Amino acid sequence: MNKQWWKESVVYQVYPRSFHDSNGDGIGDIKGITQKLDYLKNLGIDVIWLSPVYKSPNDDNGYDISDYQAIMDEFGTMADWEELLKEVHNRDMKLIMDLVVNHSSDEHAWFMESRKSTDNPYRDYYIWRKEPNNWESTFSGSAWQYDEQTGEYFLHIFSKKQPDLNWENETLRNEIYSMMNWWLEKGIDGFRMDVINFISKAPGLPDAPNPEGKKYVGGGQYYINGPRIHDYLQEMNQKVLSSYDILTVGEMPGASVEDAKLYTDPSRNELNMVFTFEHMDLDSGPNGKWDLKPLELKDLKDNITKWQTGLHGVGWNSLYMNNHDQPRMVSRFGDDKEYRVESAKMLATFLHMLQGTPYVYQGEEIGMTNVRFDSIDDYKDIEILNMYKEKVLEGSEPHESVMESIYVKGRDNARTPMQWNASDNAGFTTGKPWIKVNPNYSDINAEQAVQDTNSIYHYYRKLIQLRKSNPIIVYGEYKLIDDANEQVYAYTRAYEDQKLLVLTNFSREVAEFQIRDNELTTGTLLIGNYEDVEENLESATIKLRPYEARVYIG
Ligand code: NOJ
């Protein structure tokens, strides 16, 4: 298998608004990040992914960009950003930037021109129609907004302040490529590409089938992995990416493993890896993310196995269980109360031992949890607020059940400030934080975690170090074993003449795992999340304690 630095790396995602505030305005900023680089270096990570720091009116916390080549005032200046890049590189780490080019902000100069008249040179940079179709916005309501100046509608798959760019327009595409080259010339090390598989829309933008006669319907089949997506990515690769040794990861809701093969097969010259959403959808019912359903371990096994085996030797996986759009993984897949430490370590073991590049989301390494704010007024996320308005204020759903969905799935779970220490506002800011801090910061914080050698933080350090000294963790071939076990997710990895056995108990009960002849029968414990492990691989049955994880190597 082709060796690459980005396969051997661990990426850490920073959501700047909530990471660290250096000037007391209650909003995280770039200087704040620079001040925390030693913390990240000590964790051992290789690459930092910065969620957007560009100029933005913040309708969607920076995912609505009004100038791709300027820094958001609240986050600092371009000089601050240059300093950050320098300091990251001084510590032998890398920096990748978020690229949000499915849409811009409606306050971007291109859109301000585009909306002026139907014959404006920028008109065709966006998608305008005399009549809307029936597509629904991801953030509720119609995906079309009427604009009085010209009496036409523009398409916005996300909020109405995020008009979709028209990738059919070659001049627009070239503007985007030159902007990307401009950042790469500044020395960045790659891009995370926001909903990049949405950029090619089906010709004619047809109405979606609507058997239930709803007001609006998804429409994703007309813009997800659309007809020209591979042409655009290959063109981008040729005009930009191929000139640099960088990491590229495409965020791709709705991409199957077959799609991912096409996106990440190196011989096709598109991207290094994609973020799949399939495992993030396993605990949703038929009505989408707010329709809560318990996760079945079997579904997780089936899904992860499909991706692990599907991309092996073809493309490459990215590994994540949370980010700024998802709830906290220990609350979602573990137990954020009694077994918070054990289950956070178990989940980390499960993920970091798979084949692919692991992504750690800020606060994950100290086991930060979901939050429950009593009032809807304490929530800030446009997705939550629009959904609440549609379902409760304008619809007939009860407040209580909608709040329950928000507690379980809302994006603000991941966006409460990073918990640095037990002082006021968790040491995130000396001012009033833009969103409330999770009240559990007096127990769960980085200072405590760094001091406690048994902490989740130190366990992550160890996992990351092991990856550096054991190529099997990066390159070994995955195989699911004991697939019928309802509590234990077990798999092996094989590389050259070595084998890894990964045992993870996803339940709060003791679980049993039977060693079979064809698996690893002699080996040593590489890492585990409980002390005093007595059994070794010679025992026929291994008993795993609640959320126990063990990795054997032989
Ligand atoms: C995906 C981003 O991760 C999310 O935060 C954002 O709201 C949408 N794309 C729109 O840019």
242 and 312 part of one domain? yes
Residue 489 Cα to ligand 1 midpoint, Å, equals: 31
Confidence at residue 509, expressed as pLDDT on a 0 to 100 scale: 98
CA distances (Å), origin 353, targets 341, 472, 493? 18, 9, 8
Burial label for 98, CB within 10 Å (0-12, 13-18, 19+), is buried
Domain assignment present for residue 160? The answer is: no
pLDDT above 80 (res 387):
yes
Domain assignment present for residue 200? The answer is: yes
Cα of 468 vs its chain's centroid, Å: 23
C-alpha angle with apex 118: 113 to 123, nearest 5 degrees? Answer: 45
Domain assignment present for residue 468? The answer is: no
Q: Determine which residue's CA is closest to atom 2 belonging to ligand 1.
A: 194
pLDDT above 80 (res 518):
no
**124 in active site:** no
Domain assignment present for residue 165? The answer is: no
Mean pLDDT of the region 24-28: 98
- The span from the CA of 315 to the CA of 265, in Å, is 4
Confidence at residue 216, expressed as pLDDT on a 0 to 100 scale: 97
Alpha helices in 4-131 (DSSP H): 5-8, 30-35, 37-43, 78-90, 109-114
pLDDT tens per residue across span 454-510 = 999 999 999 999 999 999 999 999 999 999 999 999 999 999 999 999 999 999 999
Mean pLDDT of the region 388-403: 96
Domain count, the chain: 3
122 and 36 part of one domain? no
Residue 61 Cα to ligand 1 midpoint, Å, equals: 9
pLDDT above 90 (res 336):
yes
Ligand 1 atom at minimal distance to the Cα of residue 158: 10
- Catalytic residue, from 21, 64, 136, 251: name it: 251
Supply 485's token pair.
């076990």
Cβ–Cβ under 8 Å, residues 115 and 154: yes
Identify the band that residue 517 occupies on the pLDDT scale cut at 50, 70 and 90.
low
Please count the CA atoms within 13 angstroms of the CA of 527 that sit on its side-chain side.
Answer: 24
122 and 257 part of one domain? no
Cβ–Cβ under 8 Å, residues 253 and 289: no
Q: 63, 192, 412: which to mutate for ligand 1, most atoms within 8 A of CB?
A: 63
- The span from the CA of 371 to the CA of 504, in Å, is 26
Q: Is 416 helix (H, G, I), strand (E, B) or coil?
A: coil
- List the domain range (segments joined by +) for residue 140: 109-155
Confidence at residue 339, expressed as pLDDT on a 0 to 100 scale: 98
- Catalytic residue, from 46, 152, 189, 194: name it: 194
For residue 408, the domain's CATH number is 3.20.20.80
CA distances (Å), origin 536, targets 146, 153, 482, 522? 67, 66, 18, 8
Confidence at residue 215, expressed as pLDDT on a 0 to 100 scale: 95
Q: Determine which residue's CA is closest to atom 8 belonging to ligand 1.
A: 63
180 and 76 part of one domain? yes
Average pLDDT score over the chain = 97
Domain assignment present for residue 458? The answer is: yes
208 and 240 part of one domain? yes
Residue type, 458: H
Domain assignment present for residue 347? The answer is: yes
- The span from the CA of 523 to the CA of 500, in Å, is 9
16 and 137 part of one domain? no
Domain assignment present for residue 238? The answer is: yes
For residue 146, the domain's CATH number is 3.90.400.10
Determine the angle formed by the axes of helices 456-469 and 340-352, rounding to 10 degrees.
Answer: 20
Element (H, E) at 264: helix 257-264
Residue 193 Cα to ligand 1 midpoint, Å, equals: 10
Identify the band that residue 528 occupies on the pLDDT scale cut at 50, 70 and 90.
very high
pLDDT tens per residue across span 56-82 = 999 999 999 999 999 999 999 999 999
Supply 186's token pair.
């500044």
Where is the domain boundary, 463, 498, 527? Answer: 463
247 and 343 part of one domain? yes
For residue 506, the domain's CATH number is 2.60.40.1180
C-alpha angle with apex 442: 440 to 446, nearest 5 degrees? Answer: 100
Ligand 1 atom at minimal distance to the Cα of residue 139: 7
Identify the band that residue 407 occupies on the pLDDT scale cut at 50, 70 and 90.
very high
83 and 184 part of one domain? yes
Query: What does residue 172 show for φ and ψ, rounded to 5 degrees?
Result: -60, -45
Burial label for 309, CB within 10 Å (0-12, 13-18, 19+), is middle
Residue 451 Cα to ligand 1 midpoint, Å, equals: 35
Supply 152's token pair.
């036409």
Query: What does residue 114 show for φ and ψ, rounded to 5 degrees?
Result: -55, -35
User: pTM value?
Assistant: 0.98
Identify the band that residue 273 occupies on the pLDDT scale cut at 50, 70 and 90.
very high
Where is the domain boundary, 398, 428, 463? Answer: 463
223 and 142 part of one domain? no
As a whole-number percent, the residues of the chain with pLDDT over 70 amount to 100
Ligand 1: residues with CB < 6 A are 60, 63, 100, 158, 194-195, 251, 324-325
Domain assignment present for residue 162? The answer is: no
Please name the residue that has the structure tokens 């959808």: 281
Identify the band that residue 152 occupies on the pLDDT scale cut at 50, 70 and 90.
very high
301 and 327 part of one domain? yes
Identify the band that residue 538 occupies on the pLDDT scale cut at 50, 70 and 90.
confident
Q: Determine which residue's CA is closest to atom 11 belonging to ligand 1.
A: 63
**DSSP-derived secondary structure letter, 258:** H
Q: 66, 104, 195: which to mutate for ligand 1, most atoms within 8 A of CB?
A: 195
pLDDT above 70 (res 42):
yes
Confidence at residue 483, expressed as pLDDT on a 0 to 100 scale: 95
Phi/psi class of residue 195: alpha, beta or left (left: φ > 0; alpha: ψ in -120 to 50)?
A: left
Residue 70 Cα to ligand 1 midpoint, Å, equals: 19
Residue 383 Cα to ligand 1 midpoint, Å, equals: 10
Supply 489's token pair.
């997710």
pLDDT tens per residue across span 171-209 = 999 999 999 999 999 999 999 999 999 999 999 999 999
Please name the residue that has the structure tokens 């993870």: 504
222 and 292 part of one domain? yes
**194 in active site:** yes
Where is the domain boundary, 122, 155, 188? Answer: 155
438 and 499 part of one domain? no
Query: What does residue 474 show for φ and ψ, rounded to 5 degrees?
Result: -85, -50
Identify the band that residue 534 occupies on the pLDDT scale cut at 50, 70 and 90.
confident
Mean pLDDT of the region 530-538: 86
Phi/psi class of residue 162: alpha, beta or left (left: φ > 0; alpha: ψ in -120 to 50)?
A: beta
Residue 13 Cα to ligand 1 midpoint, Å, equals: 14
Sign for the CA dihedral angle at 295, 298, 303, 304 comes to: positive
Q: 15, 17, 100: which to mutate for ligand 1, most atoms within 8 A of CB?
A: 100
pLDDT tens per residue across span 252-261 = 999 999 999 9
CB atoms near residue 107 (< 10 Å): 16
Q: 68, 325, 385: which to mutate for ligand 1, most atoms within 8 A of CB?
A: 325
Please name the residue that has the structure tokens 């994950």: 364
As a whole-number percent, the residues of the chain with pLDDT over 90 amount to 96
Mean pLDDT of the region 439-452: 98
Q: Is 514 helix (H, G, I), strand (E, B) or coil?
A: strand
- The span from the CA of 94 to the CA of 48, in Å, is 6
